Amino acid sequence: MRVWWELARRTFRRYSTYRAATLGGLIPNVMFGYLRAYVLLAVVVQAGAVGGFDGRDVVTYSFATQALIVPIAIFSAGGSSIDLAERIRTGDVVVDLYRPIDFQAYWLAQDLGRAAQGFVTRGLASFVSGFLVFSLVVPTSVSGAAAAAVVLVLAVLVSFGFRYLVALGSFWLLDDRGLTLIGGVLAMFLSGFLVPVTFFPDWLQTVAAASPFPAMVQLPVEVFLGHHGPAGVARVVATQLGWFALLVVAGRRLGASAMRKVVVQGG
Amino acid sequence: MADTVLDDRSAVGPIRRNAHLFRHLAGARIRSDLQYRASLALFTVGTLVITGLDFVAIAVLFVQVPALAGWSLAEVAFLYGTAGVSFGLADMAVGSIEKVSERIRRGTFDILLLRPAGTLLQVVTDEFALRRIGKVLQPAAVLVYAVLRLDLGWSVRTVTLTVVMVVAGAFIAGALWVVTASATFWTVEGREAANAVTYGGSALTQYPLPLYGEVVRSLAFVIPIAFVSYLPSLEVLGKVDPLGVPVALRYASPLIAVASVAVATMTWRFAVRHYRSTGS
């Protein structure tokens, strides 16, 4: 247990040293937060509330999704957020495989550290920037805040599950760029990051619901906005846990076959 | 000695020289890119699909509303398409300047100062990539869609306005790239800020300006991306401008383009001179 905590903590500290990147990354976060807020606001002003989202909701949505960029690693599904793919490419992964700890859990612990650091710095800062112009929605009760925290952590877990799978693809493909790109695009679109899933036409909402992506962004933000009562929150948590379990199992299966492959090749 | 372009010492000499060199250097990159024809084709297709989703995200919004800030989907598509082609062309021509901060970090920028060609020219041809044509093709496709959907009676006037708008817009966007890249000479965070301005600016032009709040709108005039697509489009599409901008400004994009290029060249020269003198 101690090992995981230490891994996460050290990764947190490692990412804290990239101060320039954090600060610099904040600028596009704020900018896009505002741009998308205005666009979504225009839609709601025109059409009235959409899918239960009113003006304040969509504006908050825009900043909340920007805050999630780093923790959920939307733009780097499998890419830079998990060094795994890189280490497979260079062969350094062999060192990781020799370690006496569970391979998948090893990467998960690090990812949690990374996500925590990103959220606490860039995430919170970019969300708060919205308050300069807008009156954002925030949880108003302790239970609301607690629910939001829980679904946030679960969202990171689901996202890790997916990104780990994509990264494992490097064992076969060696070049992860194509897979990362596709994974990233799918994630961005179907998670509700670009446009809330509730804005999608019905058929597209069905497609999204059949994927793990909304569990990474749309659902947690809905809980944050307070759109779900206790039963609804329970359902969201169940959905997230379900996807996480599925992705973890898939990750372990894929990891096992990757390891067989590595051994067979005498690598 | 034969009187070649390189020996031309007249006033336009430098321009002719640079244009000549650009064609050769970029041509060399293109020829090398074309060696990997399949990879180029795949990447282009991939880029098209991915950037295609960019417009789909906009189109999805129109499932909920018939118009945004008084602009229909076809009109927004026109805005998106013209601005997109402008930014795409600029990206293809000078987009590789983003890599300059990487060069500085690695210390490989200095070698460019030793070569007889201007640094700006070298930097933009260095990573010239034909495959970036995907960034032009996608908005072009959206533009075609817009033209087909819009029920405009196209006249010589509106077609000329559109062509001028796209070309001028490309120069403004290119200037923006150069100016923001110049900022990376000074700060480490400069690159992220630079990307925010160029890609943020490009995203801004996808929607009609009145949509945004005051601060964003004022920025769009200073930067000056309002002139890339929104203002000229008002003329082409014959729309009323709720912002009350003087009508003359709708035709100002060529002038703004010239001014932008001037500012960009000066900024770049200043940045390089400063970089040299600090001896980093």
What string of pLDDT tens digits covers the 280 residues of chain B? 445 666 666 766 777 777 777 788 777 777 776 666 665 666 667 677 777 888 888 888 888 888 888 899 999 999 999 999 999 999 888 877 777 777 777 777 777 777 776 777 777 777 667 667 778 888 999 999 999 988 787 888 889 999 999 999 999 999 998 888 888 877 766 777 788 888 888 889 989 998 898 888 888 888 889 899 999 888 888 888 888 888 888 888 899 999 999 999 898 888 888 877 665 4
Q: Does A201 touch chain B (CB under 8 A)?
A: yes
Higher pLDDT, B21 or A121: A121
Of the listed ranges A3-12, A20-29, A140-149, the one predicted with least confidence? A20-29
Average pLDDT score over residue span A108-122? 89
Q: Which two tokens stand for residue B247?
A: 């009508």
- Residue A77 pLDDT more than 50? no
pTM of the predicted protein model: 0.83
Please report how the helices B230-237 and B156-183 are oriented relative to each other, as an axis angle in degrees rounded to 10.
170
Residues A70 and A25 sit within 8 Å (Cβ to Cβ): yes
**Rounded-to-integer distance, Cα B145 and Cα A230, Å:** 46
- Residue A266 pLDDT more than 50? no
Q: Does A133 touch chain B (CB under 8 A)?
A: yes
Which of A38, A47, A189 lies nearest to residue B212, judging by beta carbons? A38
DSSP state of B189: T
Could you give the ipTM of this predicted complex?
0.78
Of the listed ranges A13-27, A115-129, A222-236, B214-228, the one predicted with least confidence? A13-27
- Enumerate residues 6+ apart whose C-beta is below 8 A from B192: A21, A23, A24, A25, A26, A27, A28
DSSP secondary structure letters along B214-243: HHHHHHHHHS-GGGTTHHHHHHHHT---TT
- A161, exposed or middle or buried, with CB in 10 Å at 0-12, 13-18, 19+? buried
Encode burial over B156-179: b for 16+ CB neighbours within 10 A, e otherwise.
Answer: eeeeebbeebbbbbbbbbbbbbbb
DSSP state of B188: S
- Enumerate residues 6+ apart whose C-beta is below 8 A from A149: none
- Residue A244 pLDDT more than 70? yes
Q: What is the pLDDT of residues A162-200, one digit of tens each?
A: 988 888 877 776 666 667 777 778 888 899 898 899 888
pLDDT of residue B3: 54
Average pLDDT score over residue span A229-240? 92
**Rounded-to-integer distance, Cα B86 and Cα A228, Å:** 44
- Cβ <8 Å between A201 and B60: yes
- Cβ <8 Å between B63 and A195: no
To the nearest whole Å, the CA of B161 is away from the closest chain A CA by: 27
Residues A170 and A80 sit within 8 Å (Cβ to Cβ): no
Q: Where are the alpha helices (DSSP H) in B36-133?
A: 37-64, 73-94, 100-106, 110-114, 119-126
Using DSSP's 3-state secondary structure scheme, residue A1 falls into coil
Spatial CA neighbour of A78 closest among A9, A209, A15, A170: A170
H or E element that contains A118: helix A103-118
- Enumerate residues 6+ apart whose C-beta is below 8 A from B61: A39, A40, A43, A195, A199, B68
**Rounded-to-integer distance, Cα A119 and Cα A153, Å:** 11
- Cβ <8 Å between B203 and A32: yes
- Cβ <8 Å between A42 and B213: no
Which of A35, A189, A195 lies nearest to residue B204, judging by beta carbons? A35
